[in-house]
Structure 1
Amino acid sequence: MKLLRHTQPDPNQLTLQLDFFAPESTEPVRESAAPPSPSPSPSLQRIPDLLAPTIPTPPPGRPHDGQRRIQLGEHLLDYALLRSKRRTIGFLISDEGLRVTAPKWVTLGEIENAIREKQRWIFTKLNERRERSARRLQPQMQWRDGATLPYLGNDVVLRIRASQSLGISHDEAAQELVISLPADASEQQLKDRVQGWLQARAKELFAQRLPVYAEKLGVTYQSFALSSATTQWGSCTADGRIRLNWRLMHFALPLIDYVIAHELSHLREMNHSPRFWATVQSIFPEFEMAKKALRDSAPETLPIF
C-alpha cells in the first residue's frame, strides 16, 4: 500500500508518540501570545474547560530552604530559583511547585516582574497539578457486581450473572455491562473478560474513525494495532504504522478522535513543530481542549486490570 506523505520524515525520528503526560515545558517569558482557541463544537461540550484556578497558598512562616517568596496581590507564592546560562527566564511547574530558571545577569527585581507578568499561567498550572494529585488519591474501582466502569465518557454498571456459559453483553439503554461467569470465578477472571470486551470494542471503533481522519488529511496509513503501553496514548511510525492504546475507550469520543487525528497528522509532519499543530488544528479545531483533558486524566484514576 502506498504511503502518501507531503514532507519527508526526519530519519532520526522514526516514531512519534503521544504520551499520557506531555512534560511541562520550561516556558520563556517573552513568548508570543497564543491565538484564541476556537469555540468548542457541541461534541466537545463534555470536555472540562479551564476553570478559574483556586490559588494554592503556601504554609505560614518562612519558605522552605532554597525557596523564595513573592507577594502577588492578596496571595503568596513560593518558588525555587535556579541560575543558569540560558538566555531567557523560564518557568517549570512540577510536583514540587514552581521553579524559575534565569540567566546569572538578570536581577531579582526583573525575575519577580516576570513572575507577576505570568502569574495567571503559573497559578493555573499549579492548580492543575494539585487537582491531578487529588484524583490520584481517590479510591480505585471495586471489581464487583454494581461497580461502575468508565466507557466512552460515561459510566456503565457491571452486572455479574452466575452461569457456566461465559458471555458478555452491553445494554446501551440501561447503561449496563452484563457478564456471565461461573459462581466461583475470581476477580482476575472478571477483569480479563471486561478487558477483552473493551479491546474488541476499541478495535472496532478505531477501525471506523481512522479512515475518517485519514481522508480529511489525504494520507494513507499502512496498518493499525492496539497498544497496552503504560505511558503513551498512541504512536505513529514513518512508514504509516499506527498504534492506539485500548484504554482510550474509557474516554469520550472527541478525545479518541483527537489522538487519532494527532497520530495521522504525523504522516504529514513527522515532528511536533508549529506546522504539525497547524495540521492537527485543520482537522480537529478543538485539539487544545482535548489535549488538556487527556493530560489531566491521570492513569491512577483509571481501572486497574
Structure 2
Amino acid sequence: MGQINLPGNPPIPVILRRSARARRLSLRLSRLDGRVTLTLPKGVSEAEGRDFVLSKESWLRAHLDQQQAEVPVTHGALLPLHGADLPIRPGSGRAVRLTETALEVPGHQDQVPRRVQAFVKTLARDRLAEASDRYSQALGRPYTRLTLRDTRSRWGSCTADGGLMYSWRLILAPPAVLDYVAAHEVAHLAEMNHSPAFWAVVERLYGDWKAPRRWLRTQGPQLHRYRFD
C-alpha cells in the first residue's frame, strides 16, 4: 500500500491500494475520518491512478469541504446528548450535572474533556443496559455481559457466548437510534446472522427499524467529530 499527494491548498493525501479482484479504478472518501483511498486494479499504473485522482479533484474537494470539522469538548461547545444539542458550561462543586438546558462541568478547562467523557460513558452504560435488559427479557434470552468501546467500524456487536458490545457514542444519538442498536444486538442472541429471520426478530422487538438504521448510515459518522482528548 502506497500513497500519492494531490497538490493544492490544502494538499490531499491519497492512499493507494492494489486489488487483484478490482475491475476498475475507484476512489473512496471515508465519512469517519476523511481518508481518501484509491483502488488500483491489476495492470493499472500509479501514473494512471494519479491522472484519475486529478480528474476527480473538484468532486473530492467539494465532499471534503462538506465534512464538518472536529469539535473539541470544552466549555462553550455544544454536545448532543440523547440527540439534543446542549451547551457545556462551567459548573460548581465536583460532579458533572446534566440539566434540561446544559451540561454543567466544574474544574479547569483542561479537565473538561476527561470529565465529560467519564460522565457520558456512565450515562451510555445506564441507557444501553436498560435497553438491553428490556429487549433481552422480551426475547426470553439473557446476555452474558455488556461492554462499551469507542469503535469506528461498528456501533455494536454480539459474541457467540452472548456478550454485547456497544459504542458509548450512541448516547450522542437520538434515543430511538440507541434503542434500535440495542434491539439489533439483542436479536443476535436468537439469530447470529442478518437473515430475514433475524430482521423479523428486530421488528418484533423494536418495530419499524428502517428510519434509525438510515440515520446511523447518514448521520452516525458525525458522532465521531467530538474529541474528548
RMSD: 2.8
> Can you list the C-alpha shifts for 1:241-299, whole angstroms capped at 9, x where unaligned?
11111100000111001110110111111111121112212222221111110011224
> What is the letter of the counterpart of residue 144 of structure 2?
Q
Show the 5 A alignment for 1:20-169: 82=23, 95=29, 135-136=66-67, 138-161=68-91, 166-169=94-97
Aligned to 2:225: 302
Q: 1:211 to 1:178 in 2, by over 3 A?
A: same
The one of 108, 112, 115 aligned to 1:190? 112
> Can you list the C-alpha shifts for 1:188-240, whole angstroms capped at 9, x where unaligned?
x2111000000011111112111111122221111112122222211101111
> Can you list the C-alpha shifts for 1:105-141, whole angstroms capped at 9, x where unaligned?
xxxxxxxxxxxxxxxxxxxxxxxxx9986652x2332
Aligned to 1:171: 99
Contact kept in structure 1, 2:75 and 2:112, CA below 8 Å: no
> What is the letter of the counterpart of residue 209 of structure 2?
F
Looking at both structures, which has the greater relative contact order when contacts are Cα pairs under 8 Å and sequence separation is at least 6? 1
Contact kept in structure 2, 1:202 and 1:246, CA below 8 Å: yes
Aligned to 1:280: 202
Aligned to 1:31: none
The one of 224, 230, 238 aligned to 2:146? 224
TM-score by length of 1: 0.52
Q: 1:140 to 1:282 in 2, by over 3 A?
A: same
Q: 5+ residue gaps in structure 2? A: 1-21, 30-35, 37-60
TM-score by length of 2: 0.68
Aligned to 1:252: 174
Q: Which has the higher helix share?
A: 2
Q: Paired residues, what number?
A: 176
Residue 181 of structure 2 aligns to a residue whose secondary structure is helix
Q: 1:178 to 1:300 in 2, by over 3 A?
A: closer
Q: 1:207 to 1:301 in 2, by over 3 A?
A: closer
Q: 1:227 to 1:176 in 2, by over 3 A?
A: same
> Can you list the C-alpha shifts for 1:69-97, whole angstroms capped at 9, x where unaligned?
xxxxxxxxxxxx959xxxxxxxx99559x
Residue 155 of structure 2 aligns to a residue whose secondary structure is strand
Q: Distance in 2 between matches of 1:220 and 1:143?
A: 36
> What is the letter of the counterpart of residue 170 of structure 1?
L
Q: Which has the larger radius of gyration?
A: 1
